[in-house]
């Protein structure tokens, strides 16, 4: 059988003509009883086959003993059997040629060695027959337009589900229910909700991509627990951007970042969450950091230009001082300074005092006042986004200050924050298409996500290395130099008969061995050797020390001219097992470890991005020549970052770390003073 992809997959997933509910129960306390009831109540027009070998009927519905005995091959099987029976059941579906099987059972890769084995068997069964599998641990999926409420999630018991444009995909099955109820309360209407589960076959990206040809879908909300199917997610995000559909994600795992920060030659260059942030940004996927921001923020994406937060021109007009101050404060914490109107614009706003916020309190909360203030602010050309903040009237008299916003819903540079509990007004704004927020935190969260959203890049997938092997320092320099990285002058020479012709002194004498990861720690480096005649003594002391402390025999040393500069940074590269090649710049030494002062991107990067990365490193401020200090050669540093990032174009390299890169005064370049490169083991030259 052909594996269903593209429109065939979309049809079997979202528009099946027939579905089988294997393991359907008559016991209403069981989750496996729910899909049949949901499908009947939501009026699904396709054929539904309850399957259960142990009963003949459920209510007045006939029940079939097995999938094999059904009168037709169903388009989609929802498998609700126990974990142990799953692989055999998928085998059966596969043999019959069922295009898609959704697996409810858990107990696979997430639950220890037995589960991992089961997941491998499940994957093999699916692959063997070409059957596509959603799950395991999937609570199913819902298409609100055709009544396909094919889910065991109790949240869908609710009647009156409105159909809309928001597609939800979540690794967590319970979250599709939470997003449903919270979305509905806020006026968000959904097209599909998919519980993605354990992704044994169908990844979250491929699932979302299957809906791209559906014109009813206007945007995507993702609840992510991991980035294991990163390539599929990138392909989907790229295609979504091409169609102008926004994608907003909430990604678990922020807190681990703090704990796992580690910069060393081991290749653990940055925390997990840094990598996730870089990957999502590189895919053009906006990221919400609050639950409300996820639910409320989607419509704001694409309404603002993409620009650095410090350059975002955000105005606030308000009927309440305190409420506006909360939004301005939260935006300030996140890096956006609210800007007051120009003097010329202020003149068009009668009764408004100068200040960061256009406060209509004195002018009075009336339809005309808010309307004309909005028109002035939206028309003055001074704002990328105008946030209207509405106080108590939003709850009691939506006609006076909420209605003017609704009436300008077609103006894309407009959003709203309602200060009181005003669920009806909030839903009315959202339904009209105005991004509307119930807390200052979710408002600021979404605004930051909207301005910070990039365009996706169509990067070539680079598989993670299975194993790696280190080059020695000289080999590392040779490879890096061939990529355009300037390295300090050096020679490789014998310990007992060193030849340092051509080197400028003083020099550093370093043990040369690919097996020696931390040579300084074992006496493998002697610095400040001032004359050629002293090199042999230094080289022998290095050999003795490394032999005694690391048990390694050093035959050769690398002798390197010492250099001075204004500062040092670390530049690293590695292929992340999930998301692929990343490049990192860090402050170096204690600053990186103590202050997490670093910047990370998917590799390769261009020169403009490299400069952005340098801008993000706080300690690099000291190299900008402020207060009469000498300016560092940041042009050369950015060029080096680009060169290192382009290791992503070389399939032999798995990791590289240059630590330190010495930054000299502007015009005098940068230079690598130590480096280690690791190759993929399978391709070592």
Binding of its own copies at residue 25 (CB under 8 A)? no
597 is a site residue for its own copies (CB under 8 A): yes
Contacts of 14 (CB under 8 A, 6+ apart): 141, 143, 146, 148, 192, 210, 211, 214
Q: Is 372 in the site for its own copies (CB under 8 A)?
A: no
Please pick, from the candidates 127, 254, 348, 611, the single residue that binds its own copies as defined by CB under 8 A.
Answer: 254
Residues 458/282, Cβ–Cβ less than 8 Å: no
| 3-state secondary structure at position 538 | helix
Contact pick of 15, 61, 121, 225 for its own copies (by CB under 8 A): 225
Q: Which stretch binds its own copies (CB under 8 A): 95-103, 140-148, 298-306, 419-427?
A: 419-427
Q: Which residues contact 510 (CB under 8 A, 6 or more apart)?
A: 473, 519, 524, 525, 526, 542, 557, 558, 559, 560
Q: What would you measure as the largest C-alpha separation in the chain, in angstroms?
A: 99
| Dist CA 436 CA 224 (whole Å) | 24
Q: Which of 5, 37, 3, 39 lies closest to 19 in space, CA to CA?
A: 39
CA 222 to each of CA 193, 427, 450, 461: distance values in angstroms, whole numbers, following the listed order: 10, 21, 15, 21
Question: Should residue 631 be labelled a site residue for its own copies when binding is judged by CB under 8 A?
Answer: no
Beta pairing class for 76-79 and 18-22: parallel
487 bridge partner residues: 672
**CA dihedral for 373, 359, 342, 332, sign (positive or negative):** negative
Residues 94-123, one symbol each (x = binds its own copies by CB under 8 A, - = not), give ------------x----x------------
Is the CB of 82 or the CB of 461 nearer to its own copies? 82
CB of 182 to its own copies, least distance (A): 5
Taken in order 34, 40, 45, 49, the sign of the CA dihedral is: positive
Identify which range of 51-59, 466-474, 494-502, 615-623 contacts its own copies by CB under 8 A.
615-623
- When the beta carbons of 241 and 352 are compared against its own copies, the nearer one is 352
Render 659-677 in DSSP notation, one character per residue.
EEEEE-BTTS-EEESSEEE
Residue whose CB is less far from its own copies, 45 or 157: 157
Three-state SS for 180?
helix
> Of 132 and 192, which CB lies nearer to its own copies in the complex structure?
192
Stretch that binds its own copies, among 10-18, 159-167, 446-454, 616-624 (CB under 8 A): 616-624
Binder of its own copies out of 54, 159, 215, 255 (CB under 8 A): 255
Least distance in angstroms from the C-beta of 381 to its own copies = 26
Query: Contacting its own copies (CB under 8 A), which of 37, 46, 130, 321?
Result: 321
Q: Beta strand pairing status for 314-318 and 385-390?
A: parallel
Q: Which stretch binds its own copies (CB under 8 A): 70-78, 150-158, 204-212, 633-641?
A: 150-158
Residue 534 or 615 with smaller CB distance to its own copies: 615
Given the complex with its own copies, which of 263 and 591 has the nearer CB atom? 591
Give whichever of 346 and 492 is closer to its own copies, judged by the CB atom.
346
Burial string for 377-391 (b: 16+ CB within 10 Å, else e) reads bbebebbbbbbbbbb
Does the protein bind its own copies through residue 419 (CB under 8 A)? yes
* Torsion sign over Cα 513, 516, 519, 524: negative
Between 250 and 279, name the residue whose CB sits nearer to its own copies. 250
Q: How many residues sit in the footprint of its own copies (CB under 8 A)?
A: 70
Contacting range for its own copies; rule: CB under 8 A; set: 95-103, 246-254, 376-384, 533-541: 246-254
The least distance separating its own copies from the CB of residue 112, rounded to whole angstroms, comes to 9
Shortest distance, CB of residue 29 to its own copies, whole angstroms? Answer: 8
Q: In the set 1, 53, 154, 262, which binds its own copies (CB under 8 A)?
A: 154
Q: N- to C-terminal Cα distance for the chain? A: 41
Q: What tokens does 680 get?
A: 């993929």
Closer to its own copies by Cβ: residue 93 or 196: 196
Q: Which of residues 447-506 bind its own copies (CB under 8 A)?
A: none
With CA atoms as reference, report the closest residue to 208 among 178, 180, 249. 249
- Is there binding between residue 353 and its own copies (CB under 8 A)? yes
Binding its own copies (rule: CB under 8 A), the pick from 94, 147, 165, 173 is: 173
CA Rg value for the chain: 30
Task: Report the alpha-carbon distance of residue 569 to residue 598 in Å, rounded.
Answer: 10
Tokens encoding 613: 């990365």
Tokens of 461: 């997938």
Binding segment for its own copies (CB under 8 A), chosen from 88-96, 176-184, 230-238, 526-534, is 176-184
Q: Which region, judged by CB under 8 A, interacts with its own copies, from 34-42, 126-134, 248-256, 640-648?
A: 248-256
CB 627 to its own copies: min, Å:
10
According to the binding rule CB under 8 A, does residue 157 interact with its own copies?
yes
Which uninterrupted H or E stretch holds 656? strand 653-663
**Among 437, 172, 160, which residue's Cα sits nearest to residue 295?**
437
Q: Per rule CB under 8 A, is residue 223 in the interface with its own copies?
A: yes
In the DSSP assignment, the letter for residue 683 is G
Phi, psi angle pair for 29, to nearest 5°: -80, -10
Residue 653, phi-psi category: left (phi > 0), alpha (psi -120 to 50), beta (remainder):
beta
Q: What is the smallest separation between the CB atom of 322 and its own copies, expressed in angstroms?
A: 3
Q: How far apart are CA 178 and CA 201, in angstroms?
A: 25
Report residue 599 as tokens.
Answer: 């910047």
State which of residues 332, 351, 463, 489 lies at the interface with its own copies (CB under 8 A): 332
Minimum CB–partner distance for residue 253 and its own copies (Å): 7
**Does 86 sit near its own copies (CB under 8 A)?**
no
* Span interacting with its own copies, options 85-93, 151-159, 196-204, 262-270, rule CB under 8 A: 151-159
Cβ 598 to its own copies shortest distance, Å: 13
- Site pattern 378..397 for its own copies (x: CB under 8 A): -------------xxx-xxx
Residues that bind its own copies (CB under 8 A): 106, 111, 153-155, 157-158, 170-175, 177-178, 180-182, 184-185, 223, 225, 252-256, 258-259, 290-292, 319-323, 325-326, 328-333, 353, 361-362, 391-393, 395-397, 419-422, 439-441, 590-591, 594-595, 597, 618-619, 621-622
């Amino acid at each position: 059988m052909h594996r269903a992809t593209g429109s065939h997959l979309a049809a079997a997933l979202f528009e099946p003509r027939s579905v089988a509910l294997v393991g359907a129960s008559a016991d209403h306390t069981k989750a496996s009883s729910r899909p049949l009831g949901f499908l009947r109540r939501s009026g699904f027009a396709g054929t539904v086959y309850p399957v259960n070998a142990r009963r003949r009927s459920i209510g007045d519905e006939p029940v079939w003993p097995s999938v094999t005995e059904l009168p037709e091959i169903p388009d989609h099987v929802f498998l609700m059997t126990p974990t142990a029976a799953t692989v055999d059941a998928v085998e059966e579906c596969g043999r019959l040629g069922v295009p898609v099987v959704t697996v409810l059972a858990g107990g696979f890769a997430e639950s220890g060695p037995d589960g991992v084995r089961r997941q491998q068997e499940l994957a093999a069964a699916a692959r063997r027959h070409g059957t596509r599998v959603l799950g395991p641990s999937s609570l199913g999926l819902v298409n609100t337009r055709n009544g396909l409420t094919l889910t065991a999630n109790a949240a869908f018991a609710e009647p009156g589900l409105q159909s809309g444009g928001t597609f939800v995909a979540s690794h967590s099955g319970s979250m599709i229910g939470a997003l449903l109820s919270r979305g509905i309360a806020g006026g968000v209407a959904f097209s599909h909700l998919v519980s993605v589960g354990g992704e044994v076959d169908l990844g979250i990206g491929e699932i979302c991509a299957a809906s791209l040809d559906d014109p009813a879908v206007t945007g995507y909300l993702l609840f992510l627990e991991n980035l294991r199917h990163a390539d599929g997610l990138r392909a989907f995000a790229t295609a979504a951007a091409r169609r102008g559909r926004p994608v907003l994600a909430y990604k678990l795992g922020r807190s681990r970042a703090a704990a796992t920060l580690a910069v060393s030659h081991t290749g653990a260059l940055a925390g997990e969450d840094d990598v996730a942030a870089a990957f999502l940004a590189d895919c053009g996927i906006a990221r919400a950091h609050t639950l409300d921001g996820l639910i409320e923020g989607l419509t704001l994406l694409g309404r603002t230009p993409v620009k650095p937060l410090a350059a975002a021109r955000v105005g606030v007009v308000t009927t309440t001082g305190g409420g506006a101050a909360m939004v301005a404060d939260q935006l300030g914490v996140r890096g956006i300074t609210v800007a007051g109107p120009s003097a010329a614009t202020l003149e068009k706003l009668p009764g408004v005092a100068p200040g960061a916020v256009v406060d209509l309190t004195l002018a009075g909360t009336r339809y005309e006042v808010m309307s004309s203030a909005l028109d002035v602010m939206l028309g003055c050309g001074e704002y990328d986004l105008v946030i209207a903040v509405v106080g108590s009237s939003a709850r009691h008299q939506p006609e006076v200050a909420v209605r003017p916003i609704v009436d300008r819903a077609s103006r894309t540079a407009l959003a709203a924050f309602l200060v009181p509990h005003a669920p009806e007004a909030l839903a009315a704004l959202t339904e009209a298409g105005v991004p509307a927020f119930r807390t200052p935190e979710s408002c600021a969260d979404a605004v930051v996500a909207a301005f910070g959203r990039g365009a996706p890049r169509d990067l070539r997938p680079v598989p993670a290395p299975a194993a790696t092997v280190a080059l020695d320092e000289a080999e590392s320099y040779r490879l890096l130099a061939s990529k355009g990285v300037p390295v300090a002058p050096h020679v490789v020479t014998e310990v007992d008969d060193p030849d340092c012709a051509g080197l400028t002194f003083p020099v550093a004498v370093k043990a040369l061995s690919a097996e020696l990861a931390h040579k300084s720690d074992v006496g493998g480096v002697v610095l400040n050797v001032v004359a050629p005649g002293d090199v042999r003594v230094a080289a022998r002391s290095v050999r003795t020390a490394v032999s005694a402390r690391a048990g390694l025999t050093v035959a050769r040393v690398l002798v390197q001219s010492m250099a001075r500069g204004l500062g040092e940074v670390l530049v690293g590269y590695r292929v992340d097992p999930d998301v692929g090649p990343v490049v990192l710049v860090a402050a170096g030494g204690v600053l990186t470890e103590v202050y997490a002062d670093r910047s990370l991107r998917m590799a390769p990067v261009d020169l403009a991005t490299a400069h952005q990365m340098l801008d993000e490193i706080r300690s690099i401020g000291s190299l900008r020549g402020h207060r009469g200090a000498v300016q560092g050669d940041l042009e050369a540093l950015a060029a080096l970052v680009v060169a290192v990032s382009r290791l992503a174009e070389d399939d032999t390299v798995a990791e590289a770390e240059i630590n330190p890169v010495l930054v000299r005064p502007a015009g005098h370049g940068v230079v690598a003073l130590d480096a280690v490169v690791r190759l993929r083991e399978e391709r070592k030259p």
